Amino acid sequence: MPPRRRQSVTIRHVAADAGVSLQTVSRVINKEPNVRPEMMERVQASIAKLGYVPSIAAQRMGGSRSYLIVALNDRERTIADWRNRQGTDWVDQMMLGGMLTCAEHGYRLIVELVDTHSDHIERELLGAIASLQPDGVILTPPHSENPLITQLLEAHGISFARIGSLKPGGGFALSIDDEGAARMATDHLIALGHRRIGFIAGPDDYELSGWRVEGWRKSMTAAGLSCEGQLAKGDFSFASGRIAAGTLLDSATAPTAIIASNDQMALATLELARERGLAIPDDLSLVSFDDTPIVRFVHPPLTAVVQPIADVTARAVELIIAEQAGRPTPTGPVITPAELAIRASTAPLR
């Protein structure tokens, strides 16, 4: 059993060293007003000299911030992604944006997994809140629009951000510009001369599915092109993508280009096209709506919508911290534009 550990340098040491009261040190640490610049400098010198770092446990105990932000992810999906090792890097991108931004402000990001479908989701969340007492929570789909969760968070007065949600309601709504991204992808294909551009949509229970279809539709309409018979619906799974792609390609007005709403459906389309002897991009251009690592390593590498997950998460952290600090925060949803990575799967219409 290791020895009982205590903080080696506490606020008390700093106060003694600087010859001020604990309170003054506390004020300096928290950048509060009512401290003369010279006092502040003296205290900061002592802090640096002693290598003092406040204990977040003690800070939290004192009734202030915990400097902890929880990123809530769906347990089942996340673990499945980790186990499958298909290169899905959603969590990594969240950490990239979230952890680094947290670090800049002296916060820490803790990833938590919670069962969405569980009936004890409430208990799980309450447990995390009680034990960690985070200053903020970042919700990711499918938690982002779970009223059980958002209400709980509101009741506890915890700042939270909802990623992938545009609905008004408690917390900050943040999203990628799905509609804009779909337009961008469609415009790219139109610019390449394509007239019949098929779209494989995601399931209806994801709000973003609709946004993506909408973007495609608008872009098509603006260019005077018909969407008739060019829309097929999948559920984000590989299998559903194959079926949807088949439906589109079997049509009398088969598309010369297809946009799939996610990587799995895009890969399914790629596979089906290959089986049917359709060369990509010569016979069929293909755009994926996820830029997961896989889509760059298939042949040909897929043109894809790049989802700026890291940026969105970074923004979410900033909003939560700004709210903590009492700084003003935007009222409406925060939309982050996506980019299109043009690769070898799209080419001019022959």
Partner DNA sequence: GTGAAAGCGCTAACAC
Partner DNA sequence: GTGTTAGCGCTTTCAC
Q: Pick from DNA, a second copy, none: which does 66 bind, CB < 5 to 8 A by kind?
A: a second copy
Q: Is 123 exposed, middle or buried (0-12, 13-18, 19+ CB in 10 A)?
A: exposed
Size of the site for DNA (CB under 7 A): 30
Q: Side chain identity at 245, as an amino acid letter? A: A
Separation CA 37–CA 35 (nearest Å): 6
Q: How many residues bind a second copy (CB under 8 A)?
A: 65
CB of 35 to a second copy, least distance (A): 20
Q: At what angle do helices 22-29 and 37-50 cross, to 10 degrees?
A: 90
Our CB check for a second copy shows the closer of 32 and 228 to be 32
Asked if residues 197 and 216 have their Cβ atoms less than 8 Å apart, the reply is yes
For residue 335, the surrounding DSSP H or E stretch is: strand 334-336
Structural element, H or E, at residue 309:
helix 309-324
Q: Does 23 participate in binding DNA (rule CB under 7 A)?
A: yes
Beta-bridged to residue 200, according to DSSP, are 232, 260
DSSP symbol at 241: H
Examine residue 8 and tell whether it contacts a second copy (CB under 8 A): yes
Tell me how crowded residue 244 is: count the other CB atoms within 10 A of its CB. Answer: 26
Nearest CB to a second copy, comparing residues 51 and 147: 51
Closest CA to 281 of 253, 305, 301, 308: 301
299 forms part of the interface with a second copy (CB under 8 A): yes
- Among 297, 328, 332, 350, indicate the residue that binds a second copy (CB under 8 A): 297
State which residue, 158 or 189, has the beta carbon closest to a second copy.
158
61-80 binders of DNA (CB under 7 A): 61-64
Residue 123 in the binding site for DNA (CB under 7 A): no
Q: Which is nearer to a second copy, 92 or 228 (CB)?
A: 92
**Which of 30-38, 81-89, 95-103, 247-255 is the region at the interface with DNA (rule: CB under 7 A)?**
30-38
Query: Do the bridges between strand 339-341 and strand 303-306 make them parallel or antiparallel, or are there none, so unpaired?
Result: antiparallel
Binding site for a second copy (CB under 8 A): 1-9, 51-58, 60-61, 63, 66-67, 79, 81-83, 85-87, 89, 91-93, 95-96, 99-100, 103, 108, 110-111, 113, 123, 126-127, 130-133, 156-159, 291-294, 296-299, 310, 323-324, 326
